[in-house]
Amino acid sequence: MKPWFAALLVLAPLLLPRPTAAQVTRTSDYLARMDADGDGKVSLAEYQIWMSYAFDAMDRNRDGVLTPDEQPGGRGKPLARADHQKLLAERFRKQDVNHDGFLSAKELAAPPQ
């Protein structure tokens, strides 16, 4: 995993307020928040939307690219939102152990292989 991506994932929860006041402490809480259509599993689109909120918060000029000055530490290569989405898709595929195109609570809790 690239250091800037790891930093993005670590900082993500700190950058935006939670949709509700309740703190997320269990995998089932994350599943419930990410599962926009309420079907009990997380699709790639739902995963990308949820995991992109930190990117969107850091993209101060809303041009779809994180420039070095918008990234943690003020350095790094520019990162386009499309590239960020591709990285998230790769991570999703690694976590989707049964390859059904969705993440269950168990798959969501497991780190990518």
pLDDT at 30 (0 to 100): 74
Tally the residues of the chain. 113
Count how many domains the chain has: 1
pTM of the model: 0.72
- Half-sphere exposure in the Cβ direction for 85 (13 Å, CA): 11
Taking alpha carbons only, the member of 84, 68, 76 closest to residue 4 is 76
Residue 91 CA to residue 97 CA, distance in Å, equals 11
Residue 29 CA to residue 66 CA, distance in Å, equals 29
Classify residue 18: in a domain, yes or no: no
Classify residue 19: in a domain, yes or no: no
* CA 66 to the chain's CA centroid: 15
Q: What is the CATH number of the domain that holds 101?
A: 1.10.238.10
Tokens of 35: 């599962």
Classify residue 20: in a domain, yes or no: no
Tens digits of per-residue pLDDT, 72-99?
999 889 999 999 999 999 999 999 999 9
